[in-house]
Chain A
Amino acid sequence: MNRETRVNLLLLVLLLAVPFVADALGQTFTVTLVTRIAILALAAVGLNIALGLGGLVSFGHAAFFGIGGYAAGILASHAMSGEPMLFGFEGSAQMPVIWIVAMLAAGLVSLAIGVISLRTSGVYFIMITLAFAQMVYYFAISWPAYGGEDGLSITLRNGFPGLNTMRPTEFFLVCFGVLAVALVLSALLSASRFGAALQAARQNEVRLASIGIAPMPIRLTAFVLSAMITAVAGALYADLNRFVSPSMLSWHMSGELIVLVILGGTGRLMGPVAGAALFVLLEFWLGGITERWQFFLGLILLVTVLFARGGVIGLFAGKERHG
């Protein structure tokens, strides 16, 4: 077991243990905080597939995060009111159904965005993904049916078979479970032939092309997969807050998702988890100390980018091993 694996395991055990200890001590809010960490980590695991493995700097992942959130909000509101939506489908308050819809919706949108955006590269890719996310953002603000800028409340948190999701620890378990599945998926993916091709496309497109693999379909698959995972996180996030609004789609959210990945360590398996944990704790801790917390958050981010390359995981587990 190398050092990074040990750090990773320690992180997971901590993440799983803290909520239960806190719950036993009556610290309900700590459970909420850790749940938030798990959900943001899931979103970042999604983004990390495009950004870390594929080198695709998407500045528009808030779009998929928000689409997931709206999937949860819209389905739940229809299930509540009994009003049929498309094709007579009456919505659903069951998380698994919502996740599937979220993934389908984000999958379709990311396919369309990907087909156009992946023709570009570098800064153009960053900016065109941002532009598409802005389009979705303005659409959500001006579309009156589901609350527009005011957002959409979810009166009762959506359910999961066999669990009472209104209880903080049980909802946390759901989020942790999904995160664990996504982490396993992400590990399998990066070790697979597909993952190897994706990383090769990032490092040397020409060499990949010379052995007869076209980079575009690989990148597109990674982009869509990444969007789908982020969308599930969005659905969970809406359930955590019992609320969804266009601010989930704003470019600040896209920026924050990137921050999570880099803070933890780009391309590292557990980087997103470490990044999310650090970000949420920093936000919480600084926000408690000073009104100027954004100033200090900015400073800390800046120092991390400039001097702590490899992120938190890099700090504890040393440099990434290649090969």
Chain B
Amino acid sequence: MKTFLKAATLALTLGASSLAMAEPVKIGLITTLSGGGAGLGVDTRDGFMLAIKQSGNKDITVVTEDDAQKPELAVQIADKMIQSDKVDILTGIVWSNLLMAVVPGAVAQGKIYVSTNAAPAALAGEKCDPLYFNAAYQNDNLHEAMGEYASKVYKKTFIMAPNYPAGKDSLTGFKRYYKGELASEVYTKVGQTDYAAEIAQIRASGADAAFVFLPGGMGIAFMKQYAQSGVKIPVIGPGFSFSQDVLPAIGDAALGAKASGQWAKDLDNAANKKFVPAFQAEYGRLPSIYAVQAYDAAQLILSAASKASVKDVKAFTAELNKADIQSPRGKFKFNTNRHPIQDIYLTEVVKENGTLTNKIVETIFTDHGDAYAKDCKK
């Protein structure tokens, strides 16, 4: 009887929305759970599932599969999830190249895609799609923020990224806002692990800062080698270079490094104060930005599902677009191209109780969108 009463009051307080909730939603989560990039995928999955678990919503099922960071496998899994599991929404892909392989086909088949990380320029501008949402950022954003910051502080910057599209986007994004002089522009091999030659160039360049975008293992290798080289030029970079998943492996070499990010653990808002301890309690480690992004993607889906039926794609995406969530990032809304408009901060790597983490220093951009939104006409 007691439980019945509880349920009844709950139904009353939630009002009509709980009726729509009865519509089951099936979500396909494709992410990288094996191979070198598995750390990012594990955080994506855990962040996403935390939001689902907290909601207690039993009408939502999530099918998770490992893409092993292979585009062909991701496509195969997406096909399977759409054709065989009959999912309504796809999400979870970490890498731009995998996303580019999956999204055009998925939206062509009328499925909604909510990106938890990858945000290639191609899908933000002319080729944007009403069914494709990005809960993270646009790939260029964090690099743009570092360009803006470097303009204020430094006069001559050495810039470096891996020789692949995300790397080129990175340096383009940086240069879009950087007004000072460039000491040199260097592209490294994808997956490179020894940066002695590049560090020697930084030393000889006469720059007063080095902007470096090297995600994952590449960044770990670079930072450790840089710390040993005796070069004193400060290294700055986008948040990925110093996110929570790589910091323990870089070690103290990362201390003091400045980066840009749309979230940090110490961000002062109610949602964040709830999220960080909840994630730690559930998984026994600090969340990374990937976990936050996935957490928000899940929140977005949950919020839309409580107001519209997923079978009515138009109504559902309209609800998604309202972004009615409490993000640990604080302010969050969608731009006209369904990519976030959000604040971007300058962070610094510090040590707290023996654990390396990022701390917010200042705000670089307020309500920052992206450069491609104007080309998105759909």
A29 CA / B97 CA spacing, docked (Å): 23
Query: Do A245 and B168 touch across chains, with their CB atoms under 8 A apart?
Result: no
Which residue on A lies nearest to B64, using beta carbons? A291
By secondary structure, the B interface counts as helix
Query: Do B75 and A151 touch across chains, with their CB atoms under 8 A apart?
Result: no
* Closest chain B CB from A278 CB (angstroms): 17
A36 CA / B80 CA spacing, docked (Å): 12
A287 CA / B65 CA spacing, docked (Å): 8
A28 CA / B189 CA spacing, docked (Å): 40
**A141-B164, A151-B97, A247-B71 are known contacts. Are A29 and B104 too (CB-CB below 8 A)?**
no
Query: Do B66 and A150 touch across chains, with their CB atoms under 8 A apart?
Result: no
Query: Do A245 and B165 touch across chains, with their CB atoms under 8 A apart?
Result: no
**A32-B76, A247-B70 are known contacts. Are A150 and B97 too (CB-CB below 8 A)?**
yes
How many A-B pairs have beta carbons closer than 8 Å: the answer is 84
B120 within 8 A of A: yes
The interface bits of chain B over 286-317 (1 if a CB of A lies within 8 angstroms of the residue's CB, else 0) are 00000000000000000000000000000000
Query: Do B165 and A144 touch across chains, with their CB atoms under 8 A apart?
Result: yes
B68 within 8 A of A: yes
Query: Do B101 and A27 touch across chains, with their CB atoms under 8 A apart?
Result: no
B251 within 8 A of A: no
Query: Do B165 and A287 touch across chains, with their CB atoms under 8 A apart?
Result: no
A144 CA / B187 CA spacing, docked (Å): 13
Query: Do A150 and B190 touch across chains, with their CB atoms under 8 A apart?
Result: no
Query: Do A242 and B72 touch across chains, with their CB atoms under 8 A apart?
Result: no
Give the contacting residue for A148; candidates B65, B71, B108, B164; CB below 8 A: B164
Query: Do B104 and A142 touch across chains, with their CB atoms under 8 A apart?
Result: no
* Closest chain B CB from A146 CB (angstroms): 11
Within 8 A of B (CB), among A240-271: 241-243, 245, 247-248
A215 within 8 A of B: no
B105 within 8 A of A: yes
Query: Do B72 and A294 touch across chains, with their CB atoms under 8 A apart?
Result: no
B205 within 8 A of A: no
**Range of interface residues on B (Cβ < 8 Å):** 20 to 34
Contacts of B3 in A (CB 8 A): none
**Range of interface residues on A (Cβ < 8 Å):** 20 to 34
Contacts of B163 in A (CB 8 A): 141-142, 148
Query: Do A241 and B76 touch across chains, with their CB atoms under 8 A apart?
Result: yes
By secondary structure, the A interface counts as helix
Query: Do A155 and B104 touch across chains, with their CB atoms under 8 A apart?
Result: yes
Query: Do B66 and A242 touch across chains, with their CB atoms under 8 A apart?
Result: no
A245 CA / B104 CA spacing, docked (Å): 15
Which residue on A lies nearest to B80, using beta carbons? A29
Which residue on A lies nearest to B71, using beta carbons? A245
B34 within 8 A of A: yes
Give the contacting residue for B101; candidates A36, A153, A237, A287; CB below 8 A: A153
Contacts of A241 in B (CB 8 A): 71-72, 75-76, 101
Give the contacting residue for B33; candidates A142, A149, A150, A291; CB below 8 A: A291
Contacts of A27 in B (CB 8 A): 84
Within 8 A of A (CB), among B74-115: 75-76, 79-80, 83-84, 96-97, 100-101, 104-105, 108
Contacts of A248 in B (CB 8 A): 72
Query: Do B84 and A243 touch across chains, with their CB atoms under 8 A apart?
Result: no
A296 within 8 A of B: no
**A153-B100, A245-B101 are known contacts. Are A294 and B71 too (CB-CB below 8 A)?**
no
Which residue on B lies nearest to A32, using beta carbons? B79
A247 CA / B68 CA spacing, docked (Å): 12
B166 within 8 A of A: yes
Query: Do B84 and A150 touch across chains, with their CB atoms under 8 A apart?
Result: no
A159 within 8 A of B: no
Query: Do A141 and B100 touch across chains, with their CB atoms under 8 A apart?
Result: no
* Closest chain B CB from A238 CB (angstroms): 9
A residues neighboring B (CB under 8 Å): 27-30, 32, 36, 138, 141-142, 144, 147-151, 153, 155, 237, 241-243, 245, 247-248, 287, 291-294
Give 8 A-B contacts (CB < 8 Å), ordered by A residue.
A27-B84, A29-B79, A29-B83, A32-B76, A147-B100, A150-B166, A153-B104, A241-B72
B residues neighboring A (CB under 8 Å): 33-34, 65-66, 68, 70-72, 75-76, 79-80, 83-84, 96-97, 100-101, 104-105, 108, 120, 122, 163-166, 168, 187, 189-190
Q: In the complex, given contacts A28-B84, A141-B164, A242-B105, what are 5 additional A-B residue pairs having Cβ atoms less than 8 angstroms apart?
A: A29-B80, A138-B189, A148-B168, A149-B164, A293-B34
